[in-house]
Amino acid sequence: MSEELTFVDRLHRDLREVRWPEPAELRARARRRSRRTAVLSTVTVLVVLAGAAVAVRERPTGPATPTAPVAAPGSAPASAPARTEIPLDALLTPADLPTKTGERLGDTGLGEAVRIDPLLESCGRERDVSAQLSVSRASRSQTLLRPTTRAGQPATPVLSQDVYRIELARGRWLFGEIDRLLNACAEWTLNASTLAADQQPVATEQEHHWEPAARDFAGDQSVLLRHVASQPRAQTGGRPVGAAASVETTLVVRVGDLVTVVVPAPDTVAEGVDDTGMSQQDLLGLGGTAAKRLCPAADAPC
């Protein structure tokens, strides 16, 4: 019995002397294992693809379906360092707008998908036009808010902007994909469920129209999109439900490997009854200013 107790005592003593890794160290080890696994998986895939390429090269193939380009002709050598980060100076500033602004919210990201108009993209998917909108190497976004007049009152946006850094060839390709969506979705009826004034959901339909209001007014490529949305109407009876009709504008401008998407708030654009706000000429000028902001940060500064 005493020998068993001695063994247990020794076991407890040895366990006390064991160094258990800290949680941060365990997480770091897990990340290293994940990276090694990813690298090994990539190598395996490349080996398989290389073998498949050798086999395919031995026989002729038919015409391929067009896909997004992977590199631009005459692009920089692989050894040349590619710019990734997007500086804050590449964004529009409050001084660039005719409307007073308050707080400025911002964010950065890596590997973000380029987003032009989520509703337009939804229409494209419904009509089997799945646009190949690129994935960016880096992105930076901002939202400029109105000054708050009363404490506790939520501030509404004046303008939102995203800047994406993508491969040059894919930047050129992007505008062709936008045209594909516009051609497929010049007119679209959205069937949805909308909350009525009594907060009860109602099955509704809403008409949407998109058109390019202007092209090639700034940077290397540019387009001004105009989106008109009618007020939703009940599918039974046709009574108006939900928000009133609206007009939204979106500026898409490319300078080199940078693409910016600028969306002014609808009530800042001269589309209402009183036509107050930014005119189309003002919007085109804003696109020109956005292009100038992008120039110093592009792969080939202007």
Encode pLDDT of 140-195 as tens digits. Answer: 999 999 988 777 778 889 999 999 999 988 988 999 999 999 999 999 999 998 88
User: Per the domain annotation, does 2 fall within a domain?
Assistant: no
User: Per the domain annotation, does 225 fall within a domain?
Assistant: yes
CA distance 68 to 172: 10
Pick from 114, 116, 109, 105: nearest CA to 157 = 105
Phi, psi of 124 (to 5 degrees): -60, -45
Tell me the CATH number at 253. 3.40.1000
52 burial type by CB count under 10 A (0-12 exposed, 13-18 middle, 19+ buried): exposed
Tell me the pTM: 0.72
CA distance 88 to 140: 8
Phi/psi zone of residue 292: left (φ > 0), alpha (ψ -120 to 50 degrees), beta? Answer: alpha
Query: How is residue 170 written in tokens?
Result: 């894919």
Q: What is the pLDDT of residues 217-272, one digit of tens each?
A: 999 999 999 999 999 999 998 999 888 999 999 999 999 999 999 999 998 887 65
Dihedral sign, Cα of residue 216, residue 217, residue 223, residue 229: negative
Query: How is residue 235 written in tokens?
Result: 């599918």
How many domains does one find in the chain? 1
- What domain range is 117 assigned to? 88-148+156-297
- Is the pLDDT at 65 greater than 80? The verdict is no
**What mean pLDDT, rounded, does the chain reach?**
79
Of 33-37, 94-98, 124-128, 243-247, the range with the lowest mean pLDDT is 33-37
User: Per the domain annotation, does 18 fall within a domain?
Assistant: no
User: Per the domain annotation, does 256 fall within a domain?
Assistant: yes
- Provide the pLDDT for residue 248: 95
User: Per the domain annotation, does 57 fall within a domain?
Assistant: no
Sorted by sequence, the CB contacts under 8 Å of residue 187 that are 6+ apart come out as 207, 208, 209
- Is the pLDDT at 56 greater than 80? The verdict is no
Beta-bridge partners for 145: 157
- Provide the pLDDT for residue 148: 80
User: Per the domain annotation, does 173 fall within a domain?
Assistant: yes
CA distance 256 to 168: 6
State the pLDDT confidence band at 12, using cuts at 50, 70 and 90.
Answer: low
